[in-house]
Structures are given as C-alpha cells and as structure tokens.
Amino acid sequence: MLNIFKSAVAGAVLLASTAGFATAEVSYGYESVKGTKIFYREAGDPSKPSLVLLHGFPSSSHQYRDLIDDLSDAYHVIAPDYPGFGSSDFPSPDQYTYSFDNFADTIDTFLEQRGISKYSLMMHDYGAPVGFRIATEHPERVETLLIKNGNAYEEGINKEVWAPILSLWENPTPELRKTIAENIYSLGGMQWQYTHGTRNPEAILPDNWLLDYYNLTREGMHDVQLDLFYDYRNNVKLYPEWQAYLKENQPPVLVVWGKNDAFFPVSGAEGYKRDVKDIDYNILDTGHFPLEEEGEFIAEKVRTFLIERGIE
C-alpha cells in the first residue's frame, strides 16, 4: 500500500513539474547577529514549512540560487552565508572566531532571530558540520535532513586527496599552509572543484568559481580559510556524536550524493544507511556540487520526499 502511495505522489509531482510552478520572488537581506551582518537569500511563504540551505566550501548561498526558485512555491526557503563567505561580513579574526562551533552558533542565532523554529536542513560540505551541531543542540526543531555530499563518517574522507590537510592537523607549519593555499586557492583550483567528476564540465557556470575566487583572495582570507581547514579535525572528533544523534532521533534523511566527489566518496553516503531507518538514498553521476548538473532531479526529489512525510 505504501509503495502505491509513493508512486502516486511521485506521479503527481512529475505532472506538476511539467505544468510549471508559480515560484515566489527571491529577496536578499542582512540580519545582524552579535554585530556580524549575515547575508541571506529567502523566498516563499513563511507560514509554510521551512527549508534551511547550508552551503559548503568554497561557495556560498549562490550555489542554491536555482533550488530556491524551484521550491519556493511550496516551501519557505532560506539560505544564509557564513561569516567570511559570500556577501556576509568578513570581520577580522580578532573580532570573530572562525571555527565550525562559532559558525553553528551564528547560524543557530540567525534562525532564532528570524523566527524559524522548525525546519528541514539541507547540508552540503561545510554545511554538514554546521548543521549537525545545530541538529544535536535542537533535535526537536529538525523535521528532516537533506544530505548533499555532507559527510559525518570517517570513511567518507578521501585520505589521498585530504593528505595535505591531514598533515596540517599533525604539524601546521607555515610551509605546509603556503603549499595548501597555492594549490587550493588558485583560480584553476576553484574551477577544478566545480568541474571535477561532472559529465559535462563545459556546462558548469563559471560564475561559481569566479565569485569564490574573488571572495577567497580578499586580504587575510587565506589565513582564515587555512584556520578552518585546521579546525576541521574537530568535526571528525564529533562524528560519533552526530551518528548517535541519527540513531537516537531517527530524522527522515534524503541523500543526494555526487559519486565522483574527490573529497567525500560514496562510502560517506553509505554511512547514513547504517544509522537511519527512514532514508531515501540517491547516488548521482556527478561531482562535488550535485546541484550544478542534477538540480532538476534534486528539486523534484526534495519535493517528493517531503510530501511523502507529510511536510507540505
């Protein structure tokens, strides 16, 4: 009976997608959080269920530009930029502590100030350590988790690609920091992150890496980002806590994972299947930023997933 219901829902979503949705107009704003201005993109009726879209590295809420349009007819969608990313403030490190703990505290406070107390969290890359901190702090607020190459398992780290950063955790020398910066923060390095593993690299919008390169070449930014790479070791230490949250709270989880991701291989996605009973698991033939090639599929999958669980 459940399979018949799911098929009917999926069919209704597909028919609706061919007819087209009347999407809500996207607005852009700033919310001051403890003296730091947080930029956000927002669309949809705030009385409808909220989707909070948490971006990864080296990107910003820009990565959700199309998904916001696709889902704002039925949901209240909001995507903030972390401090130092996108169009949010870039305070100096003596004014703001750049750590994943502090990012989570900032975004948690941002949501509270915006009056958003119940939500689904979409988590990509850095969005996972930010989102899982929020979820473990407020499990009662989380309706679902929408995982898009957001890792919570040690086996989900490609140790070969991560080798320089793993070495940084052991011995953070100035020379190693300089080598990492030269390789990752180049324009070519930014482009590679978006195009590696994609089926059609020529179709990936260059605005993505050009905007990221602009933001990451601001004075003082390399040191801030290298400090975040170093702080990432503390995320790995919290993986058991996040896995315990999944097992104990059993939030419904949608996984949409680019299988050719050089940083977070599919073994990270598989971890969720061990810990969560209600999971919709999708492995996609694309790279680290699945929305760039699979945006239409992901939007329809999110819509169907939420409707099937009564979130509409």
The first and second tokens of residue 114, run together, are 């915006």
Q: Catalytic: 138? A: no
> Could you give the CA distance from residue 44 to residue 67 in angstroms, rounded to a whole number?
12
Tell me the pairing of strands 36-43 and 50-54.
Answer: unpaired
Spot the catalytic one: 55, 76, 222, 288: 288
Report how far Cα 169 is from the mean position of its chain's Cα atoms: 23
| CA distances for 301 relative to 17, 131, 239, 255, 298, angstroms | 11, 20, 26, 10, 5
Burial class from Cβ neighbours inside 10 Å (0-12, 13-18, 19+) for residue 272 reads buried
Quickly count: other Cβ atoms within 10 Å of residue 34's Cβ.
12
Are 271 and 244 in contact by the 8 Å Cβ rule? The answer is: no
Contacts for 29 with CB less than 8 Å, ≥ 6 apart: 39, 40, 42
Give the bridge partners for 76, in sequence order.
50
Tell me the residue length of the chain.
312
Contacts for 55 with CB less than 8 Å, ≥ 6 apart: 61, 62, 63, 64, 79, 81, 82, 85, 86, 124, 125, 126, 127
Catalytic positions are: 288
